[in-house]
Structure 1
């Protein structure tokens, strides 16, 4: 049978998914530890051996082998803009939507100290933005000069005021900088235009970053490493939500990915007000939005999760009214033993309480909020961010959800709560679980066979309640 092999070189595991493209079925999945330090193909080969054993009764011919990667820390970026709440925020959203991990965000004119921070930050790409088209150009030109004179040797994507592009080209050419110029991420005030920058970042990832991270060995086997893993997930989510010309999508959705280091939230929805009489304020929200919470993780970030939530919040989810459980030591143990697999009932319960906290806080940071202002004309309601109250589906992925006996209970922690009624979280969503870790694989498949990718996701994402 003809099949696609879809590969995710993850930060911890290399995951393989074999798809029968004629019968539209997943033949088998397998994973093994990612071996980025030595040769990434060592971990891949171990996973591939497992896959072959699972497929030994099938005559499989892989016609395509496609991959995504978040190995070696994924795609690490710094975003630079003019005003923190405007062009700097627009640059950040463009970078996150491209699947990057944001190391830092800088605003206004860069200082020498900030340039040193950037040089020492072990980054992969810089996104340089600033100014609406025809607006302030002095800041982005200053920042281009500072970067050029610093001798920093990473690709720079320029996505700012188009009036400054000629000056920036001249500056970067004089200093032999590695750069590309694309459309402004915010051409008009409060108007986002992030897709061109996202696509440019993806091209750089494919053409240059892959080799720098030692992934070149894999390219001898695969047809291409197409994108960072988070970009593949958001690609899958968007395909599933919107559908294709021949295959209907399922509508607005949110994906919650709870990992050892971060909790990522992807929403596919326009986020317009769902209640009458509400006006929208602030920066325009992207239809496909991704947020990454680096302090909300199950292992690496266990201590910072405790700091963000507080002991009482974790105890509430544990139903530990008598305070018998040592919350601090449990979090500390997990942060020091990142490969810990919970075995006892107490360990499982604690992990699930952490997951509920991560889900609640990550969703609170992702969704929009509503504010009420009283005026002589009466109450005025303003929305900042996305209204996701009527989103149809909440999709969970990540180890703690996949291995839970009650994944829906974890996902419910991210839904609307009357005690925090100003947070515009989903009210009555249906719950789906990525039981076989196929979302990143389907993002890859959607690049070439989008109809098939949508149908497989509809078939294999599991309903939970």
Structure 2
């Protein structure tokens, strides 16, 4: 049978999904520990052996092998802009949408100290923005000069004021720096244009970053590593929401991906106010938005999660104040491959997951503010209103293995005691039980209609 092998070289696990592209069925899935330190193909081969066992002797002809990756720390970037709330924030959103982990965001003229920070950070790509088209051009030119003098040997994506681009190109060319120019991430005040920068980042990831992370052996075996894993999840979420020319989408949705190091939230919605009389302020929100919470992880970031959530919030979900919360989080951070086995271990993991879901959604959604003026009360919204979102989709090990995944997802919904955070009110809960979101993002590159149909079929409704 003609099939596609879809591979996710994850930070912890390498996950394989075999899809029959004729019958539009998932034939089998398998996973094993990612082995980036030695040879990434060791972990792949271990997972592949399991996949063959799960295929139970079926004769499968893999037409293509497509992959995404967040191994070796994933794609790491810094974003540089002019005003923190405007072009610097736009650059950050472009990087996040491309599947990157943003190490830092810099605004205004770069200083020598900041240049040293950038030089000493373990980054992969620099996104250089600044100024609306026809606006301030001195800042991006200054920052290009600082980067050129620094000797930083990393790819640069230039996505700023078009009036300054010629000068920036000249500066970077003379310094023999690798760079690509794309459209401004903020051509007009408060107007986002992040897709061109996202695409340029993806191309550089494919061309340069994969090889730099020691993954050339994998690339020689497969048809290509197309994108970072978070970008694949966002792509899958987008086509599921919007649909294609031939397949209807399901509408507005939110995906919560709880991992060992981070909790990612993807929202697919315009986020316009759902109530009359509310005014919008701040930067325009993208329809497809991703946020990454590096302090909300189940293992690597367990101690940071405790700091963000506080013991009080963990206890709220545990309903048992005799548990050593600090000790449990410390143990998980020191034993990143720990799999909960006892009832107490499972309960603690789920309490952590609920806290991660609650906080990550609070940070992702818009906030409603009440302003009292001489003319009366005014309601102002900054960020996305996700109150009416239809679906809340969960993915990640703690959700997949939970006996009550809906209970974890419910922690991220609207809370009457905190009406200012515009979280989903009455969503339907779906579970990515077979870890197919990233795989469907890959499949969507060639068969978008099929990817939508498979997700509709395999995402499981949970109550």
Normalised TM-score (structure 1): 0.99
How far, CA to CA, are the matches of 2:240 and 2:45 in structure 1?
Answer: 31
Query: How many Å separate the matches in 2 of 1:298 and 1:56?
Result: 33
Equivalent residue number for residue 20 of structure 2: 20
Tell me the equivalent position of 2:274: 274
Mapping for residues 128-143 of structure 1, pairs under 5 Å: 128-143=128-143
Q: SS at 2:72's partner residue?
A: helix
Alignment gaps of 5+ in structure 1: none
Give the superposition deviation at 1:59: 1.2
1:310-333, Cα deviation, whole Å (9 max, x unpaired): 11111111112xx21111111111
- Map 1:53-452 onto structure 2 (within 5 A): 53-320=53-320, 323-452=321-450
- Residue deviations 1:208-236 (CA, integer Å, cap 9, x gap): 11111111111221111100000000000
SS at match of 2:15: strand
Shift of 1:57: 2.9
| C-alpha distance in 1 between matches for 2:162 and 2:231 | 26
Moved more, 51-60 or 305-314: 51-60
SS for the counterpart of 1:419 is: coil
Aligned equivalents of 1:173 and 1:426: distance in 2? 48
For the residue of structure 2 that corresponds to 1:454, the secondary structure is helix
Runs of 4+ in 1 over 6 A off after TM superposition: none
Q: Measure the CA separation in 2 of the matches of 1:169 and 1:334.
A: 47
Q: Secondary structure at the match of 1:165?
A: helix
Q: Distance in 1 between matches of 2:292 and 2:436?
A: 20
Question: Which stretches in structure 2 are left out of the alignment for 5+ residues?
Answer: none
TM-score normalized by structure 2? 0.99
| 2:45 aligned counterpart, secondary structure | helix
CA deviation after TM superposition for structure 1 residue 337, in Å: 1.0
Q: Deviations over 1:50-84 (max 9, x none)?
A: 11122233111001110000010000000001111
CA distance in 2, matches of 1:39, 1:64: 22
* Residue-by-residue CA offset, 1:233-287 (whole Å, 9 max, x unaligned): 0000001001111111110000000011110000000000000000100000000
Give the match for residue 457 of structure 1. Answer: 455
Instruction: Tell me the distance in 1 between the aligned counterparts of 2:346 and 2:173.
Output: 56
The count of residues paired between Structure 1 and Structure 2 equals: 463
